[in-house]
Amino acid sequence: MFPSNTLCDGGASGDEEEEGPVMAALQRSPTYDRARTAVYRNTAGELALVDVGRIGSDEQKQVLDKLVAAVNEDMEGILRRVRQRFDVVGLEFPKVEVRFENLKVDALVHVGSRALPTVPNFIFDMTEFRIFSGGRRKLPILNNINGIIRPSRLTLLLGPPSSGKTTFLLALAGRLAPSLQMSGTVTYNGRSLEEFTPQRTSAYASQQDLHISEMTVREVLEFAGSCQGAGFKHEILMELLRREKIADIYPDQELDIFIKFLLRQ
């Protein structure tokens, strides 16, 4: 689906007479407009400039079908070509390094028969929260955990059941329940969790299946993507387009429309 050369300089495409004027018109557009505009080839083989945020349902289906087919065929190749496009203009992806030092998480729990899920215990629990703290004991879940999660790496966390893996991930993501007591430090690129909103930088994928069962996988992903928005990725796209315009680089048409389509707002 993708040509062998992801990037080509001005006018060096396979069909110069057809693509040259269209690509030149795109390059003359302001950077903001180029972030929303892409070269689209319809089913009849005709080229035109389209607003990726306003293309019709048939065109959206065609773009998504091509993208899914390309992912199934050679996902690594697509990612390599996306990376190549950024490398050509010297643009790096943002990197995040997570450090945690003396990380401790404790929970206040009942022990023995008082911890059993019975009706009297449920009533006592409600009374405790409303009147007094009750005879709860401190149970350590994590105890003095230290480490570094390097950027651009895949980190695997292994451990037996009930060893604190979920609690550890929630602590790093800043999503611990208020009932848990956390101490120690967690930093993202040297900044503590109090200095920014960690929920906008990290994500925790729960084991619970919370999506709408009547929706297909594609519909779920499209809905989640539309709710998430482009965020900082749109700023990276703007900088990428600006540098390509300065260097007089024409990006691959299909790769360009895929990126803009996925980041459309």
**Pair (102, 180) in one structural domain:** yes
Q: What are the tens digits of pLDDT across the range 110-159?
A: 776 766 778 777 777 676 655 555 567 788 999 999 999 998 888 999 99
Q: Identify which of 97-106, 132-141, 155-164, 213-222 has the greatest average pLDDT.
A: 97-106
Are 89 and 102 within one domain? no
Residue 45 located in a structural domain: yes
Same domain, 28 and 107: no
Query: What's the mean per-residue pLDDT of the chain?
Result: 78
152, 169, 200 - which closes a domain: 200
Looking at the fold, whether 105 and 167 belong to one and the same domain comes out as yes
Residue 49: is it exposed, middle or buried by C-beta count within 10 angstroms (0-12/13-18/19+)?
A: middle
**Residues 176, 223 within the same domain:** no
Q: Is residue 205 part of a domain?
A: no
Count how many domains the chain has: 2
Give the least confident one: 71-75, 183-187, 240-244: 71-75
With a CB cutoff of 8 Å and minimum separation 6, the contacts of 265 are 53, 229, 230, 234
**In terms of C-beta density within 10 A (0-12 exposed, 13-18 middle, 19 or more buried), how is residue 241 classed?**
buried
In this structure, the answer to whether residues 154 and 81 fall within a common structural domain is: no
> What is the C-alpha to C-alpha distance for residues 43 and 59, in angstroms, rounded to an integer?
9
CA dist 245 and 31 (Å) reads 8
The predicted-structure confidence for 175-201, as pLDDT tens digits, reads as follows 898 889 999 999 999 999 888 888 777
Q: How confident is the model at residue 167 (pLDDT cuts 50, 70, 90)?
A: very high
**Residues facing 98 on adjacent strands:** 149, 188
User: Residue 163 sits in which domain range?
Assistant: 98-200
pLDDT of residue 81: 86
Per the domain annotation, does 208 fall within a domain? no
Same domain, 115 and 191: yes
Instruction: Count CB neighbours of 6 within 10 A.
Output: 20
User: What is the rounded CA–CA span in Å between residue 245 and residue 263?
Assistant: 19
Res 265 pLDDT > 70: no
Domain co-membership, 75 together with 148: no
On whether both 175 and 124 belong to a single domain, the answer is yes
Which pTM value belongs to this model?
A: 0.61
Q: Domain for residue 207, yes or no? A: no
Whether residue 223 is contained in a domain is answered as yes
